[in-house]
Structure 1
């Protein structure tokens, strides 16, 4: 069964942001601001991509949706970061309604729209465990009877870490958070066009059966200054402890995230 992960990288959608802007031009300017783009690239390089390269099951598609307003130098940098990930494909689209554009991009990525697939939403500052694709496929196999009776079924891994990378390395702590959107996937039946980006990640249980897992840590939720959810007023700061050597070893083994790599990238001028 085809596995497709969709990642939006500074795509100026109409809707889809918790913080709104007065105009499309203002949103584009915000997304493409040099300081913000630099942080997104560092997060993408050190947090998001390592585990995708290290997946124990490499049979998946990684679709990166970006806007046609992304500056040329940023587009070139994005291509360079993805050059050694053969599963990756960059899709450039003009601004449009968030759900419609994401639905179109996901459906265009399906090898056979008449066949079922597994769809993943994946932010550019988050990570999944190196066995996530393998565990997702196993879950779909285990739930074959359920999948046969429903056009959509959600899978949600609820244990993981919140982490903030920086010049000193990784500050992180364990968390348990149901339906957070990271390490979440949808089974989508053949011929069904609405997929994972057509439903709020925290509301999927209202619209379809869900299967949840809480054993091994399966995600890293990136915590940084440009989180969309942290732009609103009165958001409380989160204090995270710096990982010790044992914690850094766990992140390397479970998520392929190397604290030394984080320190190098975030210490660069």
Structure 2
């Protein structure tokens, strides 16, 4: 069975919906998203948290679509063009502002859906979080075990719920071990290509209303980074897993190719405050 693994990463996309932080006009949103200081931070997180594991995936048979606006300021638009040119698995889609967020996401993903695939494993990827270096390999392997369950409904979610929460402030980066339900990271949704839907069409925190949802708690599969620029910043429903004596620098390097010392220096250099939101970091 041909399973295509297809992800979507939105990099400061300017459009309606898709955000918890609201703005009164598109000009206000553009000023917020494209502020030079914010973009400098977002690119640093993207380069140091998100990208390393995708560049090192043990199964290279995947596509990651990066979606942004055609007016994304330089040098970041040029950097994304360079990345898509140099990395075969990364595709860049420039989508003009659209009011309906799911329609914009579909416009970005649709050109890359493989009509010959029997199943597409859609996944969403924030530009400041990470999946493990073997995420694609594990997702494809585990789907083979769940194939009969998928056939019953023609849709299936696999929630890799064991991960780490990184918290970045002006004092540096801390690491906490968490099992979090349906966090949206490392959470592939398997759909038939003719359905013409992506992962963002389903609210990740209540995906069980739409399909069977299998929770996998084995390997450490996600790293979520909480910092001042988060749209949400809440950890979500879950609990800690035992990690006494864990060497976080070693684990992050092994599973995510993240350099914790470099990330810590970056957070200190940016002088990040904790976000002023009631549920940030909890």
TM-score (ref. length: structure 2): 0.84
Structure 1 regions of 5+ residues with no counterpart?
Answer: 232-243
Inter-partner Cα distance in structure 1 for 2:53 and 2:169: 19
CA contact (8 A) 1:107 1:113 kept: no
**Which of 225, 235, 246 in structure 2 is aligned with 1:222?**
225
Equivalent residue number for residue 142 of structure 1 = 145
Equivalent residue number for residue 250 of structure 2 = 249
| 2:68 counterpart SS class | strand
Inter-partner Cα distance in structure 2 for 1:186 and 1:113: 18
Inter-partner Cα distance in structure 2 for 1:101 and 1:58: 26
Equivalent residue number for residue 204 of structure 1 = 207
Inter-partner Cα distance in structure 1 for 2:112 and 2:50: 20
| 1:112 counterpart SS class | coil
CA contact (8 A) 1:113 1:191 kept: no
Q: Higher mean Cα deviation, 45-54 or 80-89?
A: 80-89
Give the CA RMSD over aligned residues. Answer: 2.2
Q: CA deviation at 1:189?
A: 1.1
Q: CA deviation at 1:265?
A: 5.2
| 2:232 counterpart SS class | helix
Q: CA deviation at 1:126?
A: 0.3
CA contact (8 A) 2:121 2:188 kept: yes
Equivalent residue number for residue 182 of structure 1 = 185
| 1:228 counterpart SS class | coil
Q: How does 1:1-269 map to 2 (within 5 A)?
A: 1-81=3-83, 84-96=86-98, 97-112=100-115, 115-165=118-168, 170-230=173-233, 246-262=247-263
Q: Higher mean Cα deviation, 141-150 or 254-263?
A: 254-263
CA contact (8 A) 1:160 1:220 kept: yes
CA contact (8 A) 2:65 2:90 kept: yes
CA contact (8 A) 1:132 1:183 kept: yes
| 2:183 counterpart SS class | coil
TM-score (ref. length: structure 1): 0.88
CA contact (8 A) 2:9 2:66 kept: yes
Equivalent residue number for residue 234 of structure 1 = none
